Amino acid sequence: MATAPSANASEVSAAHAPSPTTAARRGAMAVWAQARAEEIEQGLRAVMDPVDYVELRAPETGLVMLRGRIGGDGAAFNLGEASVTRAAVQIASGEVGIAYILGRDQKKARLSAVCDALWQSKKYRDAVERRVHDARGRTAATRVDFFTLVRGED
């Protein structure tokens, strides 16, 4: 019986790699996840003031179970629970933004969802990306790299 040839590792990883657009959207969301609600609000005002949106899902807080593994390949175990807040909005041009944030900050979840919707809009994406790029630059300027030296003792 003949079998189909198996895909090599590079073909498999390329098939599961996110598109450049998805990767850029994830990168922007990562910046909003690290920002405070006031910083997000200030950035939104610079892009669009007033921000016009409709809440599709009002911010709501719940719990998620955190799972871990010892050594990366051990059996999974329940580590504990964490609060997560989610929100969904739609801007006037029709784009839907969704945000899930760690913690209970409902304002931050709503503002992050608005940012996500604006990022998806061709009209506002460049302006949003400029704000994200500025925030990344400010963060990179304060970055500290740590490294560990191995001692020769056993």
pTM equals: 0.76
Q: 26 is written with which tokens? A: 């994830």
Confidence of residue 3 (pLDDT cuts 50, 70, 90): very low
Residue 51, burial from CB neighbour count under 10 angstroms (0-12, 13-18, 19+): middle
pLDDT tens profile 76-122:
999 999 999 999 999 999 999 999 999 999 999 999 999 999 999 99
What's the Cα-to-Cα distance from 80 to each of 26, 34, 91, 103, 148, rounded to whole Å? 25, 22, 36, 14, 30
pLDDT tens profile 111-141:
999 999 999 999 999 999 988 888 776 665 6
Higher-confidence residue of 99 and 16: namely 99
